[in-house]
Amino acid sequence: MTAAALEIAGLTRTFAGPPAVTALAGVDLTVRPGEVFALLGPNGAGKTTTVGVCTTRVRPTAGTVALDGIDVARAPVRVKQRIGVVTQYNTLDRACTVFENLYYHCRYHGWGGREAAGRTGELLAQFRLADRAAAMAQTLSGGLAQRVQLARAIAHRPSMLFLDEPTAGLDPQSRLALWELIAGLRAQGITVLLTTHYMEEADRLSDRVAIIDHGKVLVTGTAAELKQRVGADTIVELQLERLDDALVARLEALPPVRRVHRGEHGLRVFGTARDGLIPPIVEAALPYGLADLRIHEPTLETVFIQLTGRELRD
Amino acid sequence: MTDGTTLRALWGMVLRDLTVLRRNFLPLMVRTVMNPLLFVFVFTYVFPTIGTGVGVGRGGEGLGYATVVVPGLVAVGMVFTAISAVALPLTMELGATREIEDRVLAPVALELVALEKIVVAAVQGIVAGLVVFPLVYFIPATPVHVHVASWPLLILVVLLASLAAGALGLVLGTSVRPQQIGLMFAVVVVPITFLGCVYYPWALLAAIPWLQHLVLINPLVYMSEGLRAALTPDLPHMPPGASLGALVAQTVALGWLGVRGFVRRTLT
């Protein structure tokens, strides 16, 4: 049994008000060495605060975080040697070029000039940034800046990488490019804690997922395990002009239907088999002004809705 | 973590600051030079030449106003540059862009990152002093009488003055929001300059006792008076021990405040 790469136990953090805010209300998590672990939750769930404590920048109110067995609050300098961090916001050094951002990062980690320059060249090639080496950091687009931030985060060869909403606000193409790079890092065996409110991101990149809301972890497991919890293999979303209890009762009485959730604009019907599921639902819903119908398999978003009754991007 | 790594990391931060400094050298020098250049030009060249002298009053007879302002203007040049060197970029780095993050995440105690800022600002302050000195020495129409009575005293004053100024810059940079930076110069930097015994020796303020006592809270007073003792010892000046002691105390107090402010701003 290998020791945990990251062990979070009973972590709480309250911010003095007014109004006082409880950002973390007792978070417990274990990240194993070499895995990509996603912390999925809506904005304000406590993801960034969790990463802040793990990366020594936020003090916990109570609880402990151990990284490779090192207490983060007691030995921040030793922890900082082992971690790389990509923040949601662009924190590149605006007064420096792309090359200098990477080069001085290595110097801040105690590397000599020649080593730092060599590593910078390597990273510029790996992240396809060579033609931007002399560009000032402030001139970069959002996608490019995140790429430089990712290169900077791994420059000193950390054992664990924290990616806090790495693709928030990026265009789809830049997001895909960054996903590819993150998948590449996973192949190199680096442990990653990724926070995101995009369920596709958690689904696609991570080995395991924890769903977090209101400063608490609700559930942890592989994406497949979490989706199984939904207890249905087909979800039919109905957009209706009118909502009625009679309709809900009628749908729930259909044999392949497990449950019906009432949403703001319609119903979400959880069924077990696709064959024979759709026609009776359509027939029942037509008199209520059926405007749209979507059929999909359970997603992490479905899991979140089931756990909280809310949508991820509320 | 060995101490060698800590020192190499801090050296990396110094190199980074020097790279940025080299890039901004010209505008920085213009900012440093403009005020003393115009001051000596108008007050010690134009005024004497058109026959409107500015006096020194009692105690400075025979030495002329041009000599009185040499130590003060050098001190202002150092202070202004050292404060700007740390406070202006720091308000940005700690502000919306959080550019400081990469240095906060370097494997070094936060306190040392803050001290590095003070030291680099002090070095810039010393360079500014060296640039201002020839201006205030050569431009005046009337003779300037400068002689270094004690090199160790001069070096000590310059070192302490630049460190105190860097520490003051750190205090201001960590306590002011970027939008308030202009206000900070108006409320802090301008008053300490005018009331810093730059344009008159402290001893002559005896004529206004309340002011003479009030200005003692101003760090610039000890820098000007310390330099006066070192560069123009024939003019009235505070005992060197007093100005050196005050400079040490202020460097420690401002340094402590600044480092504390830096840690508060970077650790939530």
Contact A100 B15 (CB under 8 A): no
- Mean pLDDT on A178-182: 84
Average pLDDT of chain A, as a whole number: 86
Banded pLDDT at A79 (limits 50, 70, 90): very high
Please list, in sequence order, all residues whose beta carbon lies within 8 angstroms of the beta carbon of residue B228, skipping any fewer than 6 positions away.
B71, B72, B201, B235, B237, B238
* Whether A163 and A79 share a structural domain: yes
Nearest CA in chain A to B20: A95
From A59, A77, A85, residue closest to B267, measured CB to CB = A59
Segment among A193-197, B57-61, B160-164, B238-242 with least mean pLDDT = B57-61
Number of domains in chain B: 1
Summarised one tens digit per residue, pLDDT across range B200-231 is 888 787 788 898 888 888 888 998 888 888 88
* Whether A158 and A244 share a structural domain: no
In CATH, what number is assigned to the domain containing residue A43? 3.40.50.300
* Packing angle, helices A172-187 and A142-154, rounded to 10: 10
Chain A and chain B share a number of CB contacts under 8 A equal to 95
* Whether A197 and A146 share a structural domain: yes
AA letter at A263:
G
Rg of chain B's alpha carbons, rounded to an integer?
19
In the numeric block, the tokens 């402590």 are attached to: B256
For the cut 60, the answer to whether the pLDDT of residue A314 exceeds it is: no
Buried-exposed string A147-172: b where 16+ CB fall within 10 A, e elsewhere: bbbbbbbbbbebbbbbbbbbbbebee
From A56, A81, A107, residue closest to B1, measured CB to CB = A81
For the cut 90, the answer to whether the pLDDT of residue B122 exceeds it is: yes
Tokens of A266: 């319609």
Please list, in sequence order, all residues whose beta carbon lies within 8 angstroms of the beta carbon of residue B224, skipping any fewer than 6 positions away.
B71, B72, B75, B76, B196, B197, B198, B202
A238 within a domain of the structure (yes/no): yes
* Whether A63 and A77 share a structural domain: yes
Three-class SS state of A25:
strand
* Whether A153 and A286 share a structural domain: no
A100 within a domain of the structure (yes/no): no
Residue A99: Cβ-neighbour burial (10 angstroms; 0-12, 13-18, 19+): buried
A118 within a domain of the structure (yes/no): no
Residues of chain B with pLDDT > 90: what percent? 21
Domain that holds residue B27: 3-266
Report whether A114 contacts A92 (CB < 8 A). Answer: no
* Whether A175 and A256 share a structural domain: no
- Mean pLDDT on B123-145: 83
Phi and psi, residue A12, nearest 5°: -125, 150
- Mean pLDDT on A185-204: 86
* Whether A49 and A161 share a structural domain: yes
From A91, A101, A105, residue closest to B98, measured CB to CB = A91
A121 within a domain of the structure (yes/no): no
Residue A107: predicted pLDDT: 94
ipTM of the complex model: 0.82
Number of domains in chain A: 2
Interface of B with A in 92-151 (CB under 8 A): 92, 97-109
A302 within a domain of the structure (yes/no): no
For the cut 80, the answer to whether the pLDDT of residue A306 exceeds it is: no
Segment among A135-149, A172-186, A190-204, B104-118 with least mean pLDDT = A172-186
- Mean pLDDT on A196-210: 87
* Whether A266 and A170 share a structural domain: no
Residue A101: predicted pLDDT: 94
Tokens of B225: 């008076």
- Mean pLDDT on A276-292: 83
Shortest Cα distance from A259 to chain B (angstroms)? Answer: 44
Q: Find, among A217, A156, A148, A143, the residue nearest to A190 by Cα.
A: A156
Three-class SS state of B233:
coil
Residue B259: predicted pLDDT: 94
For the cut 50, the answer to whether the pLDDT of residue B59 exceeds it is: no
For the cut 50, the answer to whether the pLDDT of residue B61 exceeds it is: no
Residue that finishes a domain, picked among A227, A262, A286? A227
Chain A residue numbers with beta carbons less than 8 Å from the beta carbon of B111 are none
* Whether A151 and A281 share a structural domain: no
Contact B9 A85 (CB under 8 A): no
Three-class SS state of A257:
strand
Residue A85: predicted pLDDT: 93
- Mean pLDDT on A148-153: 91
A214 within a domain of the structure (yes/no): yes
Residue B63: predicted pLDDT: 60
Residue A119: Cβ-neighbour burial (10 angstroms; 0-12, 13-18, 19+): buried
* Whether A29 and A171 share a structural domain: yes
- Mean pLDDT on A52-78: 91
Residue that finishes a domain, picked among A173, A206, A227? A227
Question: Cα–Cα–Cα angle for A35, A39, A45, nearest 5°?
Answer: 165
Average pLDDT of chain B, as a whole number: 84
Chain B residue numbers with beta carbons less than 8 Å from the beta carbon of A95 are 20, 23, 89, 99
* Whether A198 and A272 share a structural domain: no
Contact A105 B102 (CB under 8 A): yes
For the cut 60, the answer to whether the pLDDT of residue A94 exceeds it is: yes
Interchain contact A61–B (C-beta under 8 A): no
For the cut 60, the answer to whether the pLDDT of residue A32 exceeds it is: yes
Report whether A194 contacts A38 (CB < 8 A). Answer: yes
Residue A313: predicted pLDDT: 62
Contact B105 A87 (CB under 8 A): no
Q: What secondary structure, in 3-state letters, does B236-264 show?
A: CCCCHHHHHHHHHHHHHHHHHHHHHHHHH
Report whether A142 contacts A170 (CB < 8 A). Answer: yes
* Whether A68 and A152 share a structural domain: yes
Tally Cβ neighbours within 10 Å of residue A275.
8
Summarised one tens digit per residue, pLDDT across range B8-55 is 999 999 999 999 888 888 888 888 888 788 887 887 777 777 776 665
In CATH, what number is assigned to the domain containing residue A267? 3.30.70.920
Segment among A3-12, A177-186, B138-147 with least mean pLDDT = B138-147
Q: Note the maximum CA span of chain B.
A: 67
For the cut 60, the answer to whether the pLDDT of residue B56 exceeds it is: no
- Mean pLDDT on B79-103: 86
A66 within a domain of the structure (yes/no): yes
Q: Find, among B194, B189, B191, the residue nearest to B172 by Cα.
A: B189
From B4, B13, B99, residue closest to A108, measured CB to CB = B13
Chain A residue numbers with beta carbons less than 8 Å from the beta carbon of B23 are 95
Shortest Cα distance from A122 to chain B (angstroms)? Answer: 20
Residue A245: predicted pLDDT: 82
Residue B55: predicted pLDDT: 56
Domain that holds residue A189: 6-92+140-227
For the cut 80, the answer to whether the pLDDT of residue A265 exceeds it is: no
Phi and psi, residue A70, nearest 5°: -95, 130
A290 within a domain of the structure (yes/no): yes
